[in-house]
Amino acid sequence: MNHSRNIALLTVAAAVLSGCQFEKSGATGWNYNDSKNGGFEKTEFADQETGPGLILVEGGQFTMGRVTDDLRHEWDMIPRTVTVSSFYMDEVEVTNFYWLEYLYWLDRVFAADYPEIYKKALPDTLVWRSKLAFNEPYVEYYLRHPAYRDYPVVGVNWLQANDYCAWRTDRVNEI
């Protein structure tokens, strides 16, 4: 009884003492976080938090191009392997309301000194115009009317979308 208690006590003491040892470098054998070896610190890392409204799209490889027989021998879709990195994407489309929030921020920050930045971010509302169609209410009201608040923003080009993504990334990282 006394002997098994001593063994249990020694086991617990050994576990506690082994947990207090410094972690060693595989390259040099030096102890991390030890001031005697210059104090190189190895910090603990926690997984990245996913931002609000974002989902992780897992990267991978796929074959792009024609993967079946090319009977006409056109060779315009030669198959090749493409690798895509993992990335985060919004769960839903960017709404008019989110775009107005972006415009509001640009107006507050840049309007006094650089009004062209705000103007450059405005969507092209003329995308609603087409021949033989009466879409003038959309042209005038689609972006700013509260009834269309949760509808996807339209008339945004690639550069505007890229600027919005950079802005949103900065705002999410401020949280």
Query: 109 with 153, same domain?
Result: yes
* Residue 48, in any domain of the structure: no
More confident: 124 or 130: 124
d(CA 114, CA 71): 57
The pTM (predicted TM-score) of the whole model is 0.61
Classify residue 44: in a domain, yes or no: no
* Structural domain of 70: 54-90
Question: Virtual CA dihedral for 153, 55, 89, 96, nearest 10 degrees?
Answer: 10
On whether residue 46 sits in a domain, the answer given is no
Let me know whether 115 and 141 are in one domain: yes
**105, part of any domain:** yes
In this structure, the answer to whether residues 112 and 160 fall within a common structural domain is yes
Look at residue 45 and tell me if it is in a domain.
Answer: no
Judgement on whether residues 140 and 117 belong to the same structural domain of the protein: yes
23 and 58 housed in the same domain? no
102 and 165 fall within a common domain? yes
**With 90 as the cut, is the pLDDT of residue 128 above it?**
no
Of 4-8, 28-32, 96-100, least confident by mean pLDDT is 4-8
User: CA 168 to CA 118: how far, in whole Å?
Assistant: 16
Instruction: Tell me whether residue 144 is in a domain.
Output: yes
Task: Give phi and psi for 81, each to the nearest 5.
Answer: -85, 130
In whole angstroms, give the CA distance from residue 153 to residue 143: 7
**Are residues 116 and 63 both part of a single domain?**
no
The rounded Cα 161 to chain-centroid distance in angstroms is 14
Total of domains in the chain = 3
- Give the residue-averaged pLDDT of 110-130: 90
**Is residue 121 within 8 Å of residue 138, measured between CB atoms?**
no
Regarding whether 82 and 137 lie in a shared domain, the answer is no
Is residue 102 located within the same domain as residue 162?
Answer: yes
Task: Verify that 153 and 126 share a domain, yes or no.
Answer: yes
Residue 6 included in any domain:
yes
List all residues 6 or more positions away from 55 whose beta carbon is below 8 Å from its beta carbon.
Answer: 88, 89, 90, 91
Assigned domain for 32 exists: yes
More confident residue, 138 or 73: 138
Environment class of 143 (CB within 10 Å of its CB; exposed 0-12, middle 13-18, buried 19+): buried
